[in-house]
Chains A and B, each alone.
Chain A
Amino acid sequence: QVIASRSGASSILVSPRQKGNPILTNLRSFAWEYSDIPADYVLGLTTCALFLSLKYHRLHPEYIYNRIRLLAGKYKLRVVLTLVDIDNHEDSLKELSKTSLINNVTVILCWTAAEGARYLELYKSFEHANAGAIRGTESKGYTDKMVDFVTVPRSINKTDAVTLVSAFGSIRGAVNARPEDIAIIGGWGEKKIMRWCGVVDEPFRARK
């Protein structure tokens, strides 16, 4: 059969237990298929997910522990995808935090079925992705970077950044500007000037 041959690597494996879960109807970007697996979803060679609705968890608190036990340490990343569908979630979440520590699972919260499905899709699609996107290696244009840089001190906004750097010609000029010179720029009040000049001159380390 065609479907069987495609199974495995490219699709999300779903346990038949999940039949009727609204998450499945939201799972659109990836092919998925039922399969006999201990977890609810298998999202890659080493990644699996269990689904937990807090509403259900409140009624059957032992359920999730049994399920975790069934996994028997099989996957490296074991996600408990938790749907927050009750208002007083505090106690359950507190308990889950503790559980995650003891039973080696990672708790991910979602608030709607759509969001839950999105998490599943993300896990699947990032199966082989590297962590570049979260290691701060995004590329940006000079202007954006300049604005990011200048607006680090609180109360300095984008307009201020453009004003400042354009008044002094370069970032270096802006960093080395004297307070009196900044004062003649519109929009730069005394407080802002103090902040800016303070920060650029502030030593990185409080004590050397």
Chain B
Amino acid sequence: MSSGNGDQQPVKLSLPLKYQQEIFQELRGRDELVVIARGLGLLRLVTNLLHSYDAVGNNFILLLNAEERENGWIGEALAEHAAISASTRARGLSVVNTDAMSVGTREKLYTQGGIFSVTSRILVVDLLSGLMNPETITGVVVLHADRIMATSLEAFILRIYRQKNKAGFLKAFSDNPDPFVTGFNPLHTMMRNLFLRNVSLWPRFQVDVAQALEGKKKAEVIELEVPMSDAMRNIQQAIMECVEVSIGELKKGNTGLEMGDWNVDSALHKQFDRVVRRQLDPNWHRVSWKTKQIVSDLTVLREMLYHLLTFDAVSFNRHLDLILAAHSPPPGSTRQNQSPWLFLDAAHTIFDTAKKRVYIGKLSKENDQDIQVLRPVLEEQPKWAVVAEVLEEIDRDLYFSSAVRDDSNGTILIMCGDALQCRQLRDYLQSMHIRPDGKNEEDEDEKEKEKDGDDGEKEEPSATAMMRKKLREYLVWKKQFGKVKENLFSENQNVINGTTKPASNQNFRGKPAANKRRRVRGGGTVGSAPSRAANGSILASEDRPLEVTALLSEIKATDTESAQKDDIVADPLDDMEDFYQLYEMQDLVVIHAYDGDMDEHVLEDVKPRYIIMYEPDASFVRRVEVYRSSHNDRNIRVYFLYYSGSVEEQRYLSSVRREKDAFTKLIKEKSGMSIVMTLDAHGIEDPQEAFLRTINTRIAGGGRLVATAQPPHVVVDVREFGSSLPSLLHGRSMVIVPCMLTVGDYILSPNICIERKSIKDLISSFKDGRLYNQCETMFQHYKSPMLLIEFDQNKSFTLEPFADLSGSLSSISSSGASDLQSKIVLLTLAFPTLRIIWSSSPYQTAEIFESLKSQEMEPDPIHAVRVGLSGGEKAEDQTFNREPQDMLRAMPGVDGKNIKNLILDMGSIKEVSNARVEELEPSVGKGAGRTIWDFFNKSLLD
């Protein structure tokens, strides 16, 4: 990173571009929210800002809402800055992100000061429990401001901070303008949540930004439109059709909901499934099984669209196999409860075409012993050839103009979507000049017309070798997978076999009969190809692993083929050396996956002369622009690849457009925004509230006049801080006492103990019996245990399912004791004195709590913590990590009783999985130990 230009600051900054300096000056001057287009260097701004405070020393700064990798990045950058500006007082970044750090350590750290990035959940507890004094905070920097809602923890933290500390600074950042204009969070509510009055917008089209990036140091960008192959286009179209139908079904099944933007266009947008989920979430307990199915289908289909473009043909086909297997119907099911898209012709097209990209073969049902029926097609991704071409062009370019040298390394950087693709491209580049020495009839090699490179190879680059290898792997996998599937879905298979084709049993006999492994491999693919084609119409309900006739007839064909392939695999290393010799004049070809802000680092480290963007990415283009403009002497040329008419292209264009629209709207809203008045967190209503509290005792004719001079206290379990309720209680002027509770979530009084369950929790805790145990322990220790059933939003305040399920309501027997209502009934029958609080929203809950407390004594936190701990246990030992525990609960053999022992005796899921039966038994008992061991060790391969 280059050191900054002459700035007035006593510290050295690295903000070479004018707009960056401007934002920085603005930020130093006042508190504001900065919304900046993605890729314009947000993190660099943040680190420079933090450094400017850090270098002075004597600061206590909080960094809020940073992701883990951002912590790493910022920490590194701060250290670098400190070294460059040789500031002795800089202390760098301290990260507090686990419960593992004890209270004492944290307290000590906080008193030392410096810059802290603390996980919100821990921070809020530390603030409330007085471990961290908000008055000592110099300032707060909030990242990802777009994710902050009125009820989120971050907003809670900011409120506590602002209540006690009016002088400290507060700066918020976001590089995602979309949430500020859509949904329920328009700009001004966001600003209120953030306690900020100023907003500063920096879209790409802002004058300063444009000037800085489009000056004479502009990066050279060459767009290459790559046509998709016909097969790909067909598949894409078919998938889109499936998406459309699924959305249609979704709309039909959920008429009560707002679904204006559920259409195929928006389905392309990256966030679509999340949008649908978010809209459905408050009603999730009400939607039918089918709707849930479709929502998950949509995710699958959308992923499929992406994989179509990124996976090679073989991997894509394999992926489809898996999808099909995972979606095979549960035993005894009817057509109705399967994914609707699987029944479409389009689905057939998807699976069929995908297979045809790998191999084609017609197989007559009679035992036709012809060898050539099945042959590989192995369609290559069109982009591969283009990449090869581009590399060659670069090669030529370098050859002719090698005299021109600048600061760049001459490295070629290839950027692609994910790690998987990196690997795929690497494999391709390594093997593109490898030829199977015995040529197949279908891949005739053409001599290249002209070539400047002095390598021995004179062939058009092709992926044949790689694809063949993949196919071989696929065949091996396929065989294995047949077994797995049989194990996993044996019940289903049996059901299906019994009804449709009893003959399929033969194939399991057929497999061991084959004496050569290779033959069996071949059989795997061949077998499934016709089986699917043959019964394509009932695609969804049937996916037979193998068929005997196919198996037998195809062995020979694949035998000769794989003999050829083996020759190639024999000496891959020699070829690899060839490959590297070819590009000797460049230093390297570096393949990287897009990784958000991390890409800036990559550019700075690699200093590439040429960049191939294998996939379009708007923010990366900007990063390149910023990079280019920041350096005088680094020429750069970008090749920008995209499939024409593809989802990828549309997605790219729409993301650019959306961002632009969002900014335009924001600018408009900003210009029309009335000045937000001082947002005093301890607002005007406070005295009034206090007054009301004292007279509120009239409810239910109460005669209590216990001193209310002191604000009401609520003891809250620290694990509850993930929900918005503590924040709202605090907002209603209650004192929150965060404690590590063993029994209950909220303690309102010495008698009242409340277990809060959102609908989702309620369902899952009924399922694994957790709630029953919780109620049991609550009754052991408290006089009036209560179960709070909390709904998300007012409008979904009902347990009634949507129209498509209501038929089953009238009859009890139809669903047995499985639905929510009957479980509630069972619970109340088991605990007749358990009180149930129904709350339509967390806001409502806060009010209910207030009224429940009105005549009660204040709770005793020390007692609350001690309750439920058996002798010798300490509260601190009870810090559990939730997810591994939930996994334990999902295991067979684990129940509410023995889970405790398991947690105490074993370290992690991994440890449990590797434990022997004898090791498990002391903790969980004999039968359960065996069950657990079986669960982990059941092999799907035999």
Contacts and interface: CB of A to CB of B under 8 A. Distances in A.
Nearest to B786: A101
A130 B771 CA distance: 15
Interface string A143-174: 10110110011000111011101100111100
A129 B910 contact: no
A2 B936 CA distance: 59
Interface stretch (A15-23, A32-40, A102-110): A102-110
B882 to A, nearest CB: 10
A184 B840 contact: no
Contacts of A46: 832
B840 A89 contact: yes
Contact of B699 (A95, A123, A152): A95
A76 interface: yes
Given A171-B936, A186-B319, A138 B767 contact: yes
A200 B914 CA distance: 12
A125 interface: yes
Given A102-B700, A149-B891, A119 B821 contact: yes
A10 interface: no
B371 interface: no
Contacts of A114: 809-810
B512 interface: no
Interface residues of B, number: 112
Contacts of B940: 165-166, 169-170
Nearest to A77: B832
Contacts of B769: 134-137
Interface in A51-79: 76-77, 79
B569 interface: no
Interface string B768-809: 111110000000000010100000000001111000000001
Most buried by B among A114, A133, A146, A189: A133
A200 B908 contact: yes
A73 to B, nearest CB: 12
B812 interface: yes
Given A115-B800, A187-B319, A190-B419, A162 B325 contact: yes
Interface in A4-54: 26, 28-29, 46-47
A46 B368 CA distance: 75
Contact of A203 (B766, B798, B847, B881): B881
A125 B937 CA distance: 41
Interface string A82-120: 001000011001110111111010111101101100110
A111 to B, nearest CB: 4
A206 B98 contact: yes
Given A114-B810, A135-B772, A176-B914, A123 B825 contact: yes
Contacts of A109: 799, 838
Given A111-B800, A136-B768, A200-B884, A94 B851 contact: yes
B699 A104 contact: no
Interface in B893-942: 895-896, 902-904, 906-910, 913-914, 935-941
Nearest to B768: A136
A94 B837 CA distance: 8
A126 B296 CA distance: 34
B895 A136 contact: yes
B876 A175 contact: no
Given A137-B895, A203-B908, A123 B881 contact: no
Most chain A beta carbons < 10 A, residue from B752, B847, B910:
B910
Contacts of B699: 95, 98
B821 A98 contact: no
A159 B488 CA distance: 13
A83 B937 CA distance: 51
B829 interface: yes
Nearest to A105: B835
A39 B491 CA distance: 50
A107 B884 CA distance: 35
A15 to B, nearest CB: 20
A208 B888 CA distance: 18
A84 B839 CA distance: 12
Nearest to A76: B832
Contact of B326 (A159, A190, A200): A159
Contacts of A175: 909-910, 913-914, 936
A183 B833 CA distance: 52
A121 B847 CA distance: 33
B848 A206 contact: no
Interface stretch (B299-307, B341-349, B575-583, B672-680): B299-307
A94 B699 CA distance: 11
B151 interface: no
A94 B840 CA distance: 10
Contacts of B836: 100, 106-108
Contacts of B827: 131, 134
B908 A186 contact: no
Nearest to A172: B936
Contact of B829 (A77, A170, A203): A77
A73 B485 CA distance: 59
B400 to A, nearest CB: 39
A61 to B, nearest CB: 11
A126 B100 contact: no
Contacts of A99: 700
Interface string B805-819: 000011111000110
Contact of A77 (B811, B823, B828): B828
B837 A129 contact: no
B267 to A, nearest CB: 18
Contact of B913 (A115, A158, A172): A172
A136 B767 contact: yes
B887 A149 contact: yes
Given A93-B838, A186-B318, A186-B420, A162 B326 contact: yes
B880 interface: yes
A159 B884 contact: no
B877 interface: yes
B868 to A, nearest CB: 16
Contacts of B889: 136
Nearest to A193: B419
B485 A166 contact: yes
B884 A183 contact: no
A105 B828 CA distance: 11
Contacts of B817: 126, 129, 133
A183 B881 contact: no
Interface centre among A29, A46, A142, A190 (most CB of B within 10 A): A142
Contacts of B813: 29
Contacts of A76: 832
A170 B484 CA distance: 9
A8 B895 CA distance: 38
Nearest to B838: A109
Contacts of B656: none
Contacts of A100: 835-837
B830 A131 contact: yes
B890 interface: yes
Contact of A162 (B488, B876, B892): B488
Give the top 7 A-B pairs by smallest Cβ distance, nearest first: A136-B769, A206-B99, A77-B832, A206-B879, A166-B484, A172-B936, A135-B769
17 contacts: A106-B835, A106-B836, A119-B821, A119-B825, A126-B826, A131-B830, A135-B769, A149-B891, A159-B326, A172-B936, A176-B914, A183-B419, A189-B420, A204-B902, A204-B907, A205-B879, A206-B98
Given A163-B326, A169-B940, A186-B322, 17 more contacts: A90-B840, A93-B838, A97-B838, A109-B838, A115-B809, A118-B821, A122-B825, A136-B772, A142-B938, A146-B488, A158-B326, A166-B484, A170-B937, A171-B938, A175-B913, A184-B420, A201-B909
